[in-house]
Amino acid sequence: MAREYARLRERNQVTLPASVVEQMGLNLGDIVEFSTNGNGGVQLHPAKIVKVGSAEARQEESAAKQDIQEGRYTLIRSVGDFRKHVEKLRKGEAPSVAEPEAEHLTESQRHDVEALVQTMLMKLLSSLVETPRGSRKRHEERATQRRQV
Amino acid sequence: MKRELRSAGKFDRKLASLFEALEGREKELQARLDEVVKGLLDGSITRAPEHHPTDDTCCLPLVDHFTVVFRPNKSVPNGQDEAGRNITNFASATLFDLLNIEEERD
């Protein structure tokens, strides 16, 4: 792998080596995209808007569908949501990944859950009430044994 | 009818690039995006040219030659427009996936 180096200057400016510009096929005014790889490194990609119907466009559409499938999307319910989302994007803030929708229970499922919770609570309460009695009984049994000895 | 959009991570990166590319025209782009998003959410946009016939994707113009590619969860073919493009009707769709931004210029 060929390595080239550049120095960070004022206002975080770096000049891309000519060989990199050539290899990426960049031209004046092109936009590049930086993405962190999670290991402290950064990857640089040309962020071109590709032509409709091109092979690159199809690849990008597939990647977007995969993003959706794997939960890398933001749910938009209003124009206000969308504006906030765009604002975050433009500030370079990672957009939030949509929270999975809360699953709604049917009426009968809700009834079953309530009944189960009620039963468990009753068991818990009765065990709490019985515990002192049980310990008192055990204490009395031990005292009787001691007296017998 | 409740409608929602899912903005794919890939779409987000394209959108950020487009804002960079159209520096100085951000308000114009935002206004058009708002128009598209509002139209899809409130059901006032129900038809669009077919983008790719095999995966039910559609496209709508943004600014200049840029177009937004999206996929409604329900759609039916709806004839052709004056330019001879196949038109898709997604009036009954409740979920739209925003997939990409592409350029139509040759």
**Domain range list for chain A:** 1-48, 52-100, 109-149
| pLDDT digits (tens), chain B, 106 positions | 899 999 999 999 899 989 988 889 999 999 999 999 999 999 999 999 999 888 889 999 999 999 999 999 999 999 999 889 999 999 999 999 999 999 987 6
CA distance A29 to chain B (A): 8
For residue A102, the model assigns a pLDDT of 44
A64:B17 CB<8 A: no
Chain B residue numbers with beta carbons less than 8 Å from the beta carbon of A79 are 34, 37-38, 41
Answer for the pair B58, B71: CB distance below 8 angstroms, yes or no: yes
Q: How far is CA A31 from the centre of its chain?
A: 28
Which one is predicted more confidently, A144 or B93? B93
* pLDDT more than 90, % of chain A: 23
β-partners of residue B87 are: B49
CATH of A1-48 among 3.30.70, 2.60.40, 1.20.1070, 2.10.260: 2.10.260
Which stretches of chain A are DSSP H helices?
18-24, 55-69, 79-90, 107-148
- CB of A97 closer than 8 Å to CB of A73: yes
Hunting for tokens 């995006």 — which residue is that? B33
| Residue with tokens 């487009």, as numbered in its chain | B18
Locate B88 and state its tokens: 């898709």
Please check the confidence at residue A81 and state whether its pLDDT lies above 90. yes
A120 touches chain B (CB under 8 A): no
Are A49 and B13 a contacting pair at CB < 8 A?
no
The dihedral built from the CA positions of residue A127, A133, A139 and A142, taken in this order, carries a sign that is negative
Q: What is the CATH number of the domain that holds B19?
A: 3.30.2310
CA-to-CA dists, residue A129 to A117, A133, B33, angstroms: 18, 8, 64
Q: What is the pLDDT of residue B95?
A: 97
Distance from the A67 Cα atom to the nearest Cα atom in chain B, whole angstroms: 6
Q: Which residue range forms the structural domain that includes residue B9? A: 4-103
Candidate ranges A46-50, A141-145, B101-105; pick with highest mean pLDDT: B101-105
A35 → chain B, closest CA residue: B13
Average pLDDT rounded to a whole number, residues A31-53: 81
Chain B contacts of A33, Cβ < 8 Å? 13, 17
- Residue pLDDT, tens place only, A125-142: 887 776 555 666 776 777
- Measure CB to CB from residue B30 to each of A65, A68, A86 and give the nearest one: A86
What's the pLDDT at A86?
Answer: 93
Write out the two tokens for B4: 């929602």
Give chain A's mean pLDDT: 80
Of B5, B71, B103, the CB nearest to A76: B5
Smallest CA-to-CA distance from A25 within A38, A41, A6, A44 is with A44
- A123, B70 in Cβ contact below 8 A? no
Q: Which residue of A has its CA nearest to B10?
A: A64
Number of domains in chain B: 1
